Amino acid sequence: MRKPFIAGNWKMNKTASEAVELVVELKDKVAGISDVEIAVCTPAVDLVSVQGVIKDSNIALGAQNMYWEESGAFTGEISGPMLTELGVSYVIIGHSERREYFGETDEDVNRKAKAAFKYGLKPIICVGETLEEREAGKTEDKVSGQIKADLAGLSNEQVAELVIAYEPIWAIGTGKTATSEEANSVIKYIRDLVREGFGDTADKVRIQYGGSVKPHNVEELMAQKEIDGALVGGASLDAESFTSIVKGAL
Ligand SMILES: O=C[C@H](O)COP(=O)(O)O
């Protein structure tokens, strides 16, 4: 049985003091919830202050990116050991915004995923198609290429710990959600792909949906057999709405 997992991706929002304000409220609102795993993936500069509030709570800490090298002359980058030492558990890798605006390739995603595991972090690997690809009937081709390349060379034990977020790019921040059936069907396809490469470990991988998840649509999404949680952008920036989403996954 896979435990539902709701993660907030704050993207480039919240200064350190705003971040503390948000998690103080959130921690109180979600206290006592143990049947849903909860994480907040904050900007790197907020990790320390947020961890100060949520350590010893039921909210896990996540980062939004990392570099694959351990240390060295890589100006502006953040390494796995830097995150681990701060108590970070999860790291989003290959978000479509990183792929689109910062030129991340599947090869980069694969290297980062391997580095995440090496340093004790669990990657949340993001995949998904553009509107043009969906309209051209290429959703499965796109996602299949990403999954195969992003997971190449991982062990079964690593894959069992992995989280995948299926985020159709056309649904991110647009208010357009894939219907729950559409999301479920692509997520089932992703699980079958993982099964091809890693056998029954596929039953352990949690696959989230992301793209305009809100309090009003989370229950319908979570009612689908294959959807194990959500990667939430905009609605994670407010404690009330993020809590409603967490509760909708119970
Ligand atoms: O990582 C989160 C996704 O990009 C979804 O963002 P959104 O909930 O604002 O559409």
The residues that are catalytic are 95, 167
| ipTM surpasses 0.90 | yes
What pLDDT score was predicted for residue 139? 97
Spell out the SS3 assignment of 129-171. CCHHHHHCCCHHHHHHHHHHHHCCCCCHHHHHHCEEEECCHHH
pLDDT computed for residue 1 by the predictor: 80
Pocket test of ligand 1: the residue of 172, 208, 245 to mutate, having most ligand atoms within 8 Å of its CB, is 172
pLDDT tens, N- to C-terminus, the chain (250 residues): 899 999 999 999 999 999 999 999 999 999 999 999 999 999 999 999 999 999 999 999 999 999 999 999 999 999 999 999 999 999 999 999 999 999 999 999 999 999 999 999 999 999 999 999 999 999 999 999 999 999 999 999 999 999 999 999 999 888 887 899 999 999 999 999 999 999 999 999 999 999 999 999 999 999 999 999 999 999 999 999 999 999 999 9
What pLDDT is stored for residue 204 in this prediction?
97
Q: Is 231 in the pocket of ligand 1 (CB under 6 A)?
A: yes
Alpha carbon dihedral 177, 98, 156, 211, in 10-degree steps, equals -10
Residue 42 confidence (pLDDT)? 98
6 phi/psi in degrees, rounded to 5? -110, 120
DSSP state of 32: T
- Domains of the chain (ranges plus CATH)? 5-248 (3.20.20.70)
CA 42 to ligand 1 center in whole angstroms: 13
> Is the Cβ–Cβ distance between 63 and 47 less than 8 Å?
yes
Note the pLDDT of residue 173: 86
Q: Which residues pair with 135 in a beta bridge?
A: none
pLDDT at res. 176: 81
Cα gap 152→225, rounded to integer Å: 26
pLDDT value at position 182? 94
- The pLDDT of residue 156: 98
Whole-angstrom Cα distance, residue 115 to residue 118? 5
pTM of this structure: 0.97
pLDDT of res. 103: 98
Amino acid at 160: A
Output the six-digit token pair for 132.
Answer: 């043009």
Q: What is the pLDDT of residue 11?
A: 98
Distance 41 CA to ligand 1 centre (A): 12
